[in-house]
Amino acid sequence: MVRFYPTFFKIVFSGMDAERAHAIGFAAIKACRQSGVSKVLRVLTAPDKSLRTEALGRVFPSPFGLAAGFDKGATGINALTDLGFGHVEVGTVTGQPQSGNPKPRLHRLVRDHAVINRMGFNNDGADQIGPRLASAHADLWHDYKERTRPIVGVNIGKTKVVPVEEAIEDYVHSTRTLAPQADYLAVNVSSPNTPGLRDLQHIDALRPLLGAVVREAELAARRHVPVLVKIAPDLSDAEVAAIADLAVELELDGIIATNTTIRREGLGLQSSPADIEECGAGGLSGEPLRKRSLEVLSAVRARVGADMTIISVGGVTSAGDVEERLQCGANLVQGYTAFLYEGPFWAARINRGLKKMRRLRR
């Protein structure tokens, strides 16, 4: 089945609109759970006990998880964890429902194993997604009674129609609504697809925003909810250092490095300039992001020291990529784009590879 998927993708999905292909593929994953197939999948794909990882005050079944963007509405958390992901980060969720940017807004560059998106935080809003998270958590506790359950993170961002000057209250509303159901919160100030959002990475704007989210998360959940900030790969080294210093100052629980990039370095080696131009504006993810993502990871770890959690994401495809990130200082690793190309058993294959590498090192 694993070797069959690239051929299946080429025949069925490669010529299809990327967003439609995503919807069909996600529906098939959720159908497996609804049909009861997931009970078998959980046995076949469950990460080995040797992969359990402590981070953010929790125990993750595996250091490898699914990044935000795949399950924007928290409609398939349990189905995705059945595939072997150690954690699933849902969202990005905004304070108000929004339809996102006009279609087409998701484009594949298959030969580069890359994606360009300008989705624009399309989601149902915090008030609708909160109850779904609560239901998913209840199901996870039931399904994983005797085992370490997968962790559910929630990525929050700014509603497009909300002015940047009112962004704090918008994030606070999402925090108030979602923190009680979240294992951790990721504050997204780095997507390139919401006008003005990346301006919130400036220290003077970021300090009060993160402080407000941390305070509201504690009040709303009546427990400690880890808060992380997700940063862009397009920041200068000085800006990365400044945000890392701020995270230490505010005693944040972690940093997620990195989001998608507006740059196009690394493309054109496989995809033609015409293909790239046809995709238009948006955030680039996938293998071309690998080098810069690693650079930011190393820079952040050097700046924050050993105690803060770092989640590395960007250009992750194989078990070797995951292990490389862990060796470079990441506590946890996420992927997304390669999921589209590698198929539903991608996470299980990575977990098997990690287990094998660790066994060989003994």
Q: How far is CA 44 from CA 48, 55, 152, 269, in A?
A: 10, 25, 21, 37
Which DSSP symbol is given to 60?
A: E
Q: Which of 63, 66, 62 is nearest to 47 (CA)?
A: 62
Say if strands 58-60 and 53-55 run parallel, antiparallel, or are unpaired: antiparallel
Active-site annotation holder among 38, 190, 191, 271:
191
Contacts by residues 353-362 (CB-CB < 8 Å, ≥ 24 positions apart)? 353/318, 353/319, 353/320, 353/322, 354/51, 354/62, 354/63, 354/64, 354/319, 354/322, 354/323, 355/47, 355/48, 355/50, 355/51, 356/319, 357/319, 357/320, 357/323, 358/50, 358/51, 359/50
Distance CA 23, CA 347 (A): 19
Distance of alpha carbon 37 from alpha carbon 25, whole angstroms: 16
The answer to whether residues 259 and 191 touch, using CB atoms and an 8 Å cutoff, is: yes
Instruction: From first to last of the 362 residues of the chain, give the pLDDT tens digit.
Output: 445 666 666 666 667 889 999 999 999 999 988 877 777 888 889 899 999 999 999 999 999 999 999 999 999 999 999 999 999 999 899 999 999 999 999 999 988 999 999 999 999 999 999 999 999 888 887 777 667 889 999 999 999 999 999 999 999 999 999 999 999 999 999 998 898 889 999 999 999 999 999 999 999 999 999 999 999 999 999 999 999 999 999 999 999 999 999 998 877 667 788 888 889 999 999 999 999 999 999 999 999 999 999 999 999 999 999 999 999 999 999 999 999 899 899 999 999 999 999 888 77
Q: Which residue has the tokens 């704007």?
A: 205
**What confidence score (pLDDT) does residue 268 get?**
60
Copy the structure tokens of residue 118: 């300008």
What does the pLDDT look like over 114-159, one tens digit per residue?
Answer: 999 999 999 999 999 999 999 988 888 777 766 788 999 999 999 9
Q: H-helix or E-strand containing 152?
A: strand 151-157
Give CA–CA dist 327/312, Å, rounded: 11
CA 49 to chain centre: 23
Q: Give the Cα separation of 228 and 350 in Å (integer).
A: 25
DSSP alpha helices (H): ranges in 114-166? 126-143
Collapsing DSSP to helix, strand or coil, 11 comes out as helix
**pLDDT tens digit sequence for 34-51:** 877 777 888 889 899 999
Q: How large a percentage of the chain has pLDDT more than 90?
A: 74
191 among known catalytic residues = yes
Instruction: Report the DSSP beta bridge partners of residue 332.
Output: 311
Question: Roughly how many angstroms between the first and final C-alpha of the chain, as a whole number?
Answer: 31
